[in-house]
Structure 1
Amino acid sequence: MRQHGGTQRPGEKCFAGGVLVALLLSLLPWQALAADRGAWAAYVNYVVGDSVTYGGKGYDCRQPHQSLPGWEPPNVPALWLEKTGSVDVQAPTAPTGLTAPSKTANSVSLTWNGSTDNVGVTGYEVFANGGASAVATTPGATSVTVSGLTANMTYTFTVKARDAAGNRSAASSAFSVTTNPPSTDTQAPTAPASLRSTGTTSTSVSLAWNASSDNQGVTGYEVFTNGGSTAAATTTGATSVTVSGLSANTSYSFTVKARDAAGNRSAASAALSVKTQTAPVGEVPSKILVGYWHNFDNGSGFIRLRNVSPKWDVINVSFAEPTSGATGGTIGFTPYNSSEADFKADVAYLQSQGKKVIISIGGANGQVRLETATARTNFVNSMGAIIEKYGFDGMDIDFEGHSLSLDAGDADFKNPRTPVVTNLISAIRALRDRFGAKFLLTMAPETFFVQLGYAFYGGSCISCDNRAGAYLPVIYAVRDILSWLQVQDYNSGPIIGLDDQYHTMGNADFHVAMTDMLLAGFPVGKNPNNVFPALRPDQVAIGLPANNNAGGGYTAPAEVQKAVNALVKGIPVGSYTLRSNVANNKGFRGLMSWSVNWDAFANYEFTNSHRPYLDSLK
């Protein structure tokens, strides 16, 4: 089992470069999933365990590779093994009853009757005017609104159904509809009145106002700060909003405008000046660098805790680990290469410098399964004692491997019933109650346990690994006390994003797609009735390896910053379209890295590159 971020403990064999990456690819837990990638296509990254169809036959991937023309499965038996059993090559039936219940000058709402399939329909694709590329897709819903159309223009739509094996149905019967003429509504809404502040923190201001009126109807509001032309926050009709990502002890001037369906904007409301609160002593900055500090030496070099780079805001001491087996619940921690007195002094020293020091639990070697109430009690008592003994500011949940999984049929992430999940939730809340509101709670799951839950959810997907998405019920249950989530965007297989495309680690596209899922929310298991809600932007950080030695998926600083620019400034990366609101994403928390030690090993490339960049975003 791999270590968090590719660490090795003393005595383990250390692999270099591509050999390490290949080994990680062969051992990652998602390999057991045998992901069904549908019809084989060129220029796709395939990994061991992927299944494809080609020429009416099924194939399993034998080696990770990017496909090229001429590498069709029958041509390269070294890469693909033909399945000997049955393969799903039956396409769904064509959708029927395509119609448009409503339309505007720039959009058409479509509905249709669902298709049937021998295994199951997984989604639909909508095409316009005979085009080869879908203008809209759904994860299973039989309705969609196609927007961005031209007024008074006739469009001919068709719909195709698809299944998990990638089979597409024949197109539905074509349906033609003409968008409405250009709107004649030129009357703007009235300006919002009585803009007021309903609360402040050191980084946010909550605002409310009286509703505007309009001859056709108000569709939303836009909030502007300091006379800017780009909205800092928007609503779809609500007359209140919280603007986050602000600086402490700073005055801001706010105005609000109303808009209607024709795009008319009202005059601005009267300006309101509000000052944010002074930051409490020791408060975590709005933009942070989080680094894991090794409580062991794996070849990256030992650093005394007090000697970590001052550019880190939060230091995660890794790891506290079980002392009584994975299911006993008792956790222990002994400082490496340090006396207890010196380690306590180092923690206090960093805290005196305004840093936060957190104890991280688990890692790949530290499997923790709280299967019983006794294990839960042991966990709470032992972790509480460790936190009190060393004066840690909080705890980080870094459960990997088989620590979290879902029982068969546990399909509702909002109401989980699997003991290892419910006991962990209870234990986290008990420790938070014990240490109070300033106690930091963070989590560092792998993409397998979070974003993979969009395509496959372990409790409801019979053919999936029961660990897929298993962090989701924990995150949801403690989201009110969660300081931030720092998903490991590394040592990951290709993951399906909200665009229903696979994204591969090591570039800006991957970080944008994975982070956008957390900022926008997503239907779990592609079930539109089971949506994991978006986290606040200040609850989201991106996890990265400090360099190539630290793990698979290293991303150069320039690519990382391209990703953050896309999220918080709206500067596009490739063809991916954000689902989250750029104006709200300014509160994005920052970057996490495995690790402090590997950063120092690489002459501080990570901290020297990203510290000034994050400071520029404040």
Structure 2
Amino acid sequence: MRTRTRTHPRPGSRARVPRPRGRALASLAAGLAAVALLAGGAHATDTGTTTAAALPQHALVGYLHTSFANGSGYTRLADVPDDWDVIQLAFGEPTSTTSGDIRFALCPATECPGVETEAEFKAAVAAKQAAGKKVLLSIGGQNGQVRLTTAAARDTFVSSVGAIIDRYGLDGVDIDFEGHSLSLDKGDTDFRNPTTPVVVHLISALKSLKARYGQDFTLTMAPETFFVQLGHQFYGSGPWGGQDPRAGAYLPVIHALRDDLTLLHVQDYNSGPIMGLDGQYHTMGTADFHIAMTDMLLAGFPVAGDANNVFPALKPSQVAIGLPASTYAGNGHTPPAEVNKALDCLHKGTGCGTYEPHGTWPDMRGLMTWSINWDRFGGWEFAKNFDSYYAR
């Protein structure tokens, strides 16, 4: 999804583009009936243990290229405008794929002229927090593959991530595991009771961090559609094997942590066509795609087409839509007018086009973008449109 490319700006510089997967259409009538029952729950008053109440009703989330440079230019944390409510520091990366040892450092001055000192950076973190913002460590990215294959790697992950949080005084973590970081072992078919070590250990590690830092710990996730909504069609390697074992692999992580999750902002870009709850394929870059993909999160959906195995709806306050800030930032850029159409449909039920969502969610949290740097490069079009829409 997000890349650390240190070259010139180019379209899709954030991530690999998943290949479109095809399948025969399965009967969804029973599944949609189950979804309809869950849809009502998405309108309920928020309860539970998430820290989302500390955010504004509608939040703007952005990734900041902190440890690397590319054609978008380096932006100091202190220079990030107040528009941004959650700032994801990209990236913490492991010393090796299976070590669990996460490291984070500011971009070298040779790569990023004007980079702040560590003392200035820490002061900027504190200043953002004093202004009511959240500053998180984003772990992974396209180049930071993380596979917690052992209990030892899990424990190292917890200790190393905790050390970074403590060193810089951060609010929590963002899980941006991509590529082959998460996959499901053969026979692991129940998202409610996962058995795959890399999944089980990640869930345990994040629960340990939440327990360590308490209710103020902010947890966000930024999976690709391949790892979430594609799970409606395919889950893991399937009952007979042969499917991509990564399909839907985030679902058990999201489900196990739903009471601790502050925000899920799926990347609605760098994606192949994905089937929605209407049984139709939807293509990125349009309001229709964002409506269909977000509706699945807010209404719930049958996993692998099984009406008896429904992924439950998330709360509206836990969901934001992930978008590239410009055509340079990733495939699937959506023009502001189309973004606003999607928001109108999901918040108000107006202008929905051919896809009719299973409810309206005025409290859906907001938008995420890759990235703050690319938005600055593009004249702040993304942030300005967000502020204009919500009249902030």
TM-score (norm 2): 0.90
- Work out whether 1:593 is the aligned partner of 2:364: no
**Structure 1: tracts of 5 or more residues without a match:** 39-121, 125-136, 146-232, 236-240, 246-279
- Work out whether 1:9 is the aligned partner of 2:27: no
Deviation at 1:139, TM superposition (A): 6.3
- The aligned residue for residue 478 of structure 1 is 257
Contact 1:590–1:614 (Cα < 8 Å) also in 2: no
Question: Structure 1 residue aligned with 2:316, among 537, 541, 554?
Answer: 537
- The aligned residue for residue 576 of structure 1 is 355
**Structure 2: tracts of 5 or more residues without a match:** 108-114
Question: Structure 2 residue aligned with 1:353, among 119, 127, 131?
Answer: 131
Contact 1:290–1:316 (Cα < 8 Å) also in 2: yes
Q: Distance in 2 between matches of 1:16 and 1:434?
A: 40
Q: 2:93 is matched by which residue type in structure 1?
A: E
- The aligned residue for residue 145 of structure 2 is 367
Q: Secondary structure at the match of 1:470?
A: coil
Q: Percent identity?
A: 55
Q: Secondary structure at the match of 2:121?
A: helix
- The aligned residue for residue 138 of structure 1 is 29
Question: Structure 2 residue aligned with 1:289, among 48, 60, 66?
Answer: 60
Deviation at 1:140, TM superposition (A): 7.7
Q: Secondary structure at the match of 2:26?
A: strand
1:59-102 alpha-carbon deviations (Å, 9 max, x no partner): xxxxxxxxxxxxxxxxxxxxxxxxxxxxxxxxxxxxxxxxxxxx
**Higher strand proportion, which one?**
1
Deviation at 1:612, TM superposition (A): 2.6
1:316-349 alpha-carbon deviations (Å, 9 max, x no partner): 11101102x1001000111123322121111111
Deviation at 1:138, TM superposition (A): 2.4
Q: Secondary structure at the match of 1:550?
A: coil
Question: Structure 1 residue aligned with 2:385, among 598, 605, 609?
Answer: 609
- Work out whether 1:492 is the aligned partner of 2:271: yes
- The aligned residue for residue 510 of structure 1 is 289
Q: Secondary structure at the match of 1:320?
A: strand
- The aligned residue for residue 404 of structure 1 is 182
Q: 1:526 is matched by which residue type in structure 2?
A: G
Cα distance, 1:319–1:138 mapped onto 2, change above 3 Å: same
Q: Secondary structure at the match of 2:176?
A: strand
Q: Distance in 2 between matches of 1:400 and 1:357?
A: 21
TM-score (norm 1): 0.58
Q: 2:76 is matched by which residue type in structure 1?
A: R
- The aligned residue for residue 111 of structure 2 is none
Q: Secondary structure at the match of 1:441?
A: strand
- The aligned residue for residue 66 of structure 1 is none
Q: 2:77 is matched by which residue type in structure 1?
A: L
Cα distance, 1:8–1:377 mapped onto 2, change above 3 Å: closer
Cα distance, 1:549–1:575 mapped onto 2, change above 3 Å: same
- Work out whether 1:447 is the aligned partner of 2:225: yes
- The aligned residue for residue 83 of structure 1 is none
- The aligned residue for residue 214 of structure 2 is 436
Contact 1:322–1:367 (Cα < 8 Å) also in 2: yes
Q: Distance in 2 between matches of 1:577 and 1:358?
A: 35
Poorly superposed stretches of 4+, deviation over 6 Å: none
Deviation at 1:487, TM superposition (A): 0.2
Contact 1:287–1:615 (Cα < 8 Å) also in 2: no
Contact 1:519–1:536 (Cα < 8 Å) also in 2: yes
Give the length in aligned residue pairs: 375
Q: Distance in 2 between matches of 1:342 and 1:499?
A: 51
Q: Distance in 1 between matches of 2:44 and 2:278?
A: 28
Cα distance, 1:401–1:561 mapped onto 2, change above 3 Å: same
- The aligned residue for residue 301 of structure 2 is 522
Q: Distance in 1 between matches of 2:83 and 2:179?
A: 31
- Aligned pairs (5 A) from 1:205-284: 242-243=44-45, 283-284=54-55
Q: Distance in 1 between matches of 2:351 and 2:244?
A: 34
- Work out whether 1:466 is the aligned partner of 2:245: yes
**Higher helix proportion, which one?**
2
Q: Distance in 2 between matches of 1:244 and 1:432?
A: 19
Q: Distance in 2 between matches of 1:593 and 1:358?
A: 15
Contact 2:46–2:315 (Cα < 8 Å) also in 1: no
Deviation at 1:351, TM superposition (A): 1.2
Cα distance, 1:427–1:285 mapped onto 2, change above 3 Å: same
- Give the greater-gyration-radius structure (CA): 1
Contact 2:184–2:246 (Cα < 8 Å) also in 1: yes
Deviation at 1:557, TM superposition (A): 1.0
- The aligned residue for residue 35 of structure 1 is 21
Question: Structure 2 residue aligned with 1:335, among 106, 110, 128?
Answer: 106
Q: Distance in 2 between matches of 1:234 and 1:416?
A: 27
Cα distance, 1:290–1:463 mapped onto 2, change above 3 Å: same
Q: Secondary structure at the match of 2:373?
A: helix
Q: 2:106 is matched by which residue type in structure 1?
A: P
Contact 2:269–2:330 (Cα < 8 Å) also in 1: yes
Contact 1:123–1:138 (Cα < 8 Å) also in 2: no
Deviation at 1:607, TM superposition (A): 0.6
Q: 2:99 is matched by which residue type in structure 1?
A: G
Contact 1:456–1:468 (Cα < 8 Å) also in 2: yes
Q: Secondary structure at the match of 1:543?
A: strand
Q: Secondary structure at the match of 1:36?
A: coil
Cα distance, 1:363–1:234 mapped onto 2, change above 3 Å: closer
Q: Distance in 1 between matches of 2:203 and 2:167?
A: 23
Deviation at 1:573, TM superposition (A): 2.2
1:430-472 alpha-carbon deviations (Å, 9 max, x no partner): 0000001011000000000000000011143523100000000
Cα distance, 1:123–1:139 mapped onto 2, change above 3 Å: farther
- Aligned pairs (5 A) from 1:76-91: none
Contact 2:9–2:71 (Cα < 8 Å) also in 1: no
- The aligned residue for residue 315 of structure 1 is 87
Q: Distance in 2 between matches of 1:381 and 1:465?
A: 32
Contact 1:538–1:589 (Cα < 8 Å) also in 2: yes
| Higher RCO, Cα 8 Å, sep 6+ | 2
Deviation at 1:15, TM superposition (A): 6.4
- Work out whether 1:123 is the aligned partner of 2:119: no
Q: Secondary structure at the match of 1:487?
A: strand
